[in-house]
Structure 1
Amino acid sequence: MARLEQARARESEQALWSRVTDLPPPPKLKLCPESFDIIAECKLHSPSAGDLSANTTGVEARVQAYAHGGACAVSVLTEPSRFGGSLDHLSQAAAILAPLHVPAMRKDFLVDPYQVMEARAAGAGGVLVIVRMLDRSRITELLDCAAMLKMFVLLEAFDAMDLQTAHEVLALRKAHDERILVGLNCRDLEKLTVELGRLAELIDQMPPGYAHVAESGVTSLDDVRTVVDIGYQVALVGTTLMHSQNPRKLLGEMLAAGRERTMAMRSRQIRLATGGDDE
């Protein structure tokens, strides 16, 4: 909250709103229909993995590699104390990504529409909204603000209760919004461990009609195939890509694995539907 109040002291909400509404629209999030996509994440530190900056020469080089590797969006941490992030990192990333038509997404602990406006002012085309941090009315305010600024939202849940809240919030919206994605983060926030099994356990409780995002724990091509098998259309991959010395190549391999798996599943479904041999 201290960062939010300091930002308000520097620029009023009215002035910030006036500034961001004069900006051209951000790059649009484009998901591959009936296939698989990856949101690649740029973070220099994490509580679970520690320093992640060793294999990168900077934010710009890393996000450019992600874009050329096929990322549908790039998540950029702006939280400073635990993730070593900043709004400057977001601005740097967005400036590189905009000419490549890839949106940047602000990832932070957002609690107020002002922070959505901040993200847009920095060039972002999307924001993360963590369900368990907010009540239903505040989630709606953030979703509405993002919609007015033509930004996408990754609505993040951690458990069944969060997913129920997401259901209720989305059910009250006047129309379906394709710019909203629903993510399930399988990290235990207290132990900082990953429970991949949660992705399968809760897939049936995800709000229908929205792209489903698997978050945390996707570290290999086999993990990618697993989340596709479960029913996720998107994966958010961060630490594994930050550890890689060739993130563009690794990202391309992950995308290929996911899309090949999706095609194989669709072919099998067609054969079964038409009475073909499934051998």
Structure 2
Amino acid sequence: MTECLGKWSAGALVLLACYGSAAAVVQAAPLRTVAEWQQQVEKLRGEKQLSAYDEAIRQYPAYADFYIKRGRVQLQRGESQRAKLDFDKAILLDDKNALAYTGRAEERACAGDSKAAWQAYETALSLDPKNSLILQSRAHFYYEGLADYRKAFADYDQAAKFVTAEDDPRRINIALQKLGAQLKYASFQPGYYATVVNSIDNILSMKKQKRSSQQLEYLYTSRCAANYHLEQYAEALRDSQQVLRYMGRDKLKQANILRQQSRILTKLGLDQAAKAALKAALLRNPKLMVDRQYELDKDLAASWQEAW
């Protein structure tokens, strides 16, 4: 269950993010209106947030959205049985609430009940077929729960169609989630790496989207790996240089990408540059070891020995 929740907290629980991400912590206090509860509770985290939802439900026991939100907090904390009770209660109060069924779907997916999860997603989308967040959640279920990558890709594409504004941050979030699924699919379908490169090119060309340094590092790292698998070594080398540009001062991470550069340069026949890259990697991490798969590469093994 812990492993499942780890996956879902990063991917399938995408709806949780839409309920507020403010970092400030405020003291929960009895408030008169639902709107005031919504504004205050969403600023909280951890036990304080959970306690605030408890109080909100005591004041408004017939308000389904509070049960949904408390259920999501509990699901993220690994309290799946309590989450299930909250989602069931929300559906009992409002059987037309698509987010309540989405919560049930995510809880059932974590419990390993794929059939019930799929049925709950079907109900949610029948109630709100253009909800991009529900489609993202089901896409994650398809590839993590069912290993059905084609259906996952279709759901991500459908979700993107319903986010029309070019500057809407949901556009890049959907694209990045789809990229994660594509990379996993390409790991056992190497011919798919060309599609991965194309997807990353499209993300990088989104003119009105703000991308953090961390996102850019991830994108260039992914494209570097994809180009390497496609034996497009010059392109992989350029991407590795971009990775170094955006990754900051973490010496261990720098060492790893420099080691990768060394291997790329070896493939390009640039032995001296490969040795220099490997030496630079060792300066940042003297304990750096060559993976067994790299040791099978005679050229790199020779460079490794000479670098020492």
Under a length normalisation based on structure 1, what TM-score does the superposition of the two structures give?
A: 0.29
Larger relative contact order (CA 8 Å, sep ≥ 6): 1
Larger Rg: 2
Under a length normalisation based on structure 2, what TM-score does the superposition of the two structures give?
A: 0.27
Greater share of residues in strand:
1
Greater share of residues in helix:
2
